[in-house]
Structure 1
Amino acid sequence: MYILVGGAGIMGSELARALVNIDHTVAVIDIDPLACQYAREKIGVMAFEGSAVNTTLLMEAGIRKATSVIAALREDALNLAMVTLSKHYGVPQIIVRMNDRDFYEPYRLAGATHIISTTELAINRMVNAIEYPQVDAMMHFEQGQVEVIKLSIPDECYIVGRSLAELAQDPRFPAGTLIIGYQAHPHEDLMIPNGNTILEKGSTILVVTKPDLVKKVIDFIGMCR
């Protein structure tokens, strides 16, 4: 895929590096010549010096052939302009970093396919770390209506040695909750479990649930014999 990143700051640069590492072709645009130099020499991507909302420069950077554009500029107003231009040039996937939540609706109307608030992500991670220290990771979906949580199963725990079918029939298992991923050991791949999957000690599970059921899920999984 050819991916065009607007902004070569800390986020834009690290994002470009991550994309290159998974074999994407990446170009960045930034007004800072030193940032562009760093992107070329240290990351190994194409870098275009100038404004990411300059149509001439966007054409030079190949926006018409881009499969994805990521707007990670310093200001929401500039990101909004880049989203609008990307939509105009027919880019199928337009991802934008949102700083101010007031821009959510304008971004959506302008054609952004993914709107990501880095501030909200950071705040949510910190709050979750305090509220649910047992959770390895947690992600929100559908504006916080659904939670996906990653949990490690304690060695001496109620659910160790039981199958998912058994858990589903347990009246204490929160209704409306699904275990959608299972990793028996850290060196093994994550698998999609079924009713016959036996939960081993030291394994990891991915659970989908509602926000108000997170504590119940943690309490259930943490039940010691």
Structure 2
Amino acid sequence: MKIVIAGGGRVGSVLAARLVAEQHTVTVIERDSATCTRIFEEVGAVTVCGDATNPRTLDAAGIATADVAAGVLARDPENLAFAMLVRSMSSARVMVRMLDTSYREAYRLSGVKELVAEAEVVVAKMSTAIDFPQVEGSLPLAGGDALLFELAINPRALVAGKTVAQVRTMEGFPRDSLFIGVVDLEGKTMVPDGSTVLRAGSTVILVSRREQLGQAVKFLTAEPVHASLTPLMQALRKVDFLAPLSDEELTVVARGAEFLQRPAGSEIFKKGDAGEGFFVVLAGEVKMMGDGGQLVGTVGPGGFFGELALLTGEPRMATSVTTHVCELAVVGRDDFRTVVMANPSVALEMSRILGQRLSRAQGVPPPSVKRKGLFGR
């Protein structure tokens, strides 16, 4: 196709390079002569140095025989003038980058139907990336009411190895979401049908209503809960400072845990050690020893210890020793912090609960001054 681009800035240059690479005939209109020279030499597009809102310049660029006219000038008034002139001089399809959405109606009245609202695209992509870090890329559709997005299939995901037809019949899959592409491990893209298998490591491309994006991402990234996690999940749900976590967040914490077996008389940690994790007793018993070997307390199945050092960053306040053969689960700082810090409201609630616990432990009423947050923040 023959394509005329108004504007040789960053967007215009990249667009011209892509279209030239796809074997289209491209002409770029740009006021700056140095930019014209650079695009001609580096991109290989024909350039016309001049004003894209001047009919004579458009005529010199061959607008009368163009198939597509794209306006990517720096200001909406210029793009609007370019679009109106093109429509008066040519039958080319007109598409425009809209910088200010207040010009939407003016573009509509001038007959421009193909608008790319730059700010809306950027905001939609960034907000999606913030809310759903699992999403690798996204593009708003239908004025933002729908989203096209990419998501890698985790090897542990429930949907890994299943066909598109099987996934669509599974409970919890949002029915208005549609698979439109699958990128395999070699980077080849295919249009899926019902028999297409969602292989681990591949990337799926879907279209979903924006309000259902969270449900779609949650469903496609869900992992089976291993039987060995069930006792740990039950124990973690009893931990007061973990109460603000959702079931999904608590599952992430449990999956990151390390399982240990220790014989009787084993020292788990000693007073003064750095607190890099907290422990849940799944079987057996652990005694907590203070100065001079004084017994501070015992922790049995379902109990936990070592959490204060993890949360406050302070050294261990006691020495822990197994009294029987013990099965323990260790929740590390990094896994725990990843989940908590991804949700500021959860972190604040946990800080409040921790403050209350520390106050009760010290036998003093809660202070009225603002406390530090988790991890010394």
TM-score bin (small chain): over 0.9
CA contact (8 A) 1:69 1:91 kept: no
TM-score (norm 1): 0.93
TM-score (norm 2): 0.57
Return the alpha-carbon distance in structure 1 between the equivalents of residues 126 and 168 of structure 2. Answer: 31
Q: Is 1:86 the counterpart of 2:86 in the alignment?
A: yes
Task: Report how many aligned residue pairs link the two structures.
Answer: 224
The alignment's C-alpha RMSD in Å is 1.5
Q: Is 1:206 the counterpart of 2:214 in the alignment?
A: no
Residue in 2 that maps onto 1:20 = 20
Q: Is 1:107 the counterpart of 2:107 in the alignment?
A: yes
Return the alpha-carbon distance in structure 1 between the equivalents of residues 165 and 10 of structure 2. Answer: 46
* Percent pairwise identity: 31
CA contact (8 A) 2:125 2:140 kept: no
CA contact (8 A) 2:3 2:27 kept: yes
Residue ranges of structure 2 left out of the alignment (5+ in a row) = 225-377
Residue ranges of structure 1 left out of the alignment (5+ in a row) = none
In structure 1, what residue type is equivalent to 2:208?
Answer: T
In structure 1, what residue type is equivalent to 2:10?
Answer: I
| Alpha carbons of structure 1 residues 44 and 184: separation in structure 2 relative to 1, 3 Å | closer
Return the alpha-carbon distance in structure 2 between the equivalents of residues 214 and 89 of structure 1. Answer: 43
Structure 1 position 138, deviation (Å):
1.3
Structure 1 position 92, deviation (Å):
2.8
Q: Is 1:30 the counterpart of 2:30 in the alignment?
A: yes
Q: Is 1:158 the counterpart of 2:145 in the alignment?
A: no
- Per-residue CA deviations over 1:14-46 (Å, capped at 9, x if unaligned) read 211121111111111122121112222222222
- Per-residue CA deviations over 1:62-100 (Å, capped at 9, x if unaligned) read 000111111111111111010001111233311111111
| Secondary structure of residue in 2 paired with 1:148 | strand
Q: Is 1:224 the counterpart of 2:218 in the alignment?
A: no
**Larger Cα-atom Rg:** 2
CA contact (8 A) 2:65 2:90 kept: no
Say which is worse superposed, 141-150 or 212-221, in terms of deviation: 141-150
Q: Which has the higher contact order (CA 8 A, sep 6+)?
A: 1
CA contact (8 A) 2:154 2:200 kept: yes
Residue in 1 that maps onto 2:74 = 74
CA contact (8 A) 1:152 1:202 kept: yes
| Secondary structure of residue in 2 paired with 1:137 | strand
Residue in 2 that maps onto 1:56 = 56
| Alpha carbons of structure 1 residues 163 and 41: separation in structure 2 relative to 1, 3 Å | closer
Return the alpha-carbon distance in structure 1 between the equivalents of residues 210 and 17 of structure 2. Answer: 34
| Secondary structure of residue in 2 paired with 1:143 | helix
Q: Is 1:127 the counterpart of 2:127 in the alignment?
A: yes
